Amino acid sequence: MPDAVSRLILASASPRRLDLLARIGVVPDAVDPADINESPLAAEIPRLHVQRLAAAKAAAVAARHPGEIILAADTVVAAGRRILPKADDEGTAHKCLTLLSGRRHRVLTAVTVIDAAGTARHRLSDTIVAFKPLTAAEIAAYLRTNEWQGKAGGYAIQGRAEAFVRFLSGSHSGVIGLPLFETRALLLTAGIPLG
């Protein structure tokens, strides 16, 4: 059983992950983002990529906080075997939205929790999302919102892009960036008291 005084460290700077944790009554004791290379390896498939990154983020932060409980996650949007980038500019966001228009894609979010004893446990959320066919005007209007900035696949489902979703099978919170069902199970196993 982990020490009752072990703190929970969130290995992410994402305000969305903080908001999602608050939905299940969890407030991390500290936020310490991992600074790792998130580039895919050669021929790395999306599922293995996202799992590797979540585990690497957790390990990097655990090294700085021995004896604490570490929560890390990573999210990717995948079209087939292709990993879509985080949109850092409007051109990238436009390409992502054009590619996703009228088709299904997967949003994979991997979660890793390292408990106070140093044991790492992992879960993966795999959600299928289908967008309606998007017109050029709809894409242009969405780009003007700037919601896409820094988002995997160039969109934020918790914002205006939710109106593009004609089908979703899986975890809505996982698409936002932290699947609450899987995260709650991992935190309980690590000794975090939850109602």
In this predicted model, what pLDDT tens digit does every residue of 21-53 receive, in sequence order? 999 999 999 999 998 999 999 999 999 999 999
29 included as an active-site residue: no
Both tokens of 95, joined, read 């390409």
Q: Which backbone phi and psi does 13 adopt, to 5 degrees?
A: -95, 5
Residue in 74, 89, 115, 126 annotated catalytic = 74
Distance from C-alpha of 119 to C-alpha of 46, rounded to nearest angstrom: 24
CB 82 within 8 A of CB 74: no
**Eight-class DSSP state of 31:** E
In this predicted model, what pLDDT tens digit does every residue of 81-110 receive, in sequence order? 999 999 999 999 999 999 999 999 999 999
Tell me how many degrees the CA angle 132-73-145 measures, rounded to the nearest 5.
Answer: 40
CATH (residue range 8-189): 3.90.950.10
Q: Name the nearest CA neighbour of 24 among 71, 90, 64, 62.
A: 71
**pTM listed for this prediction:** 0.94
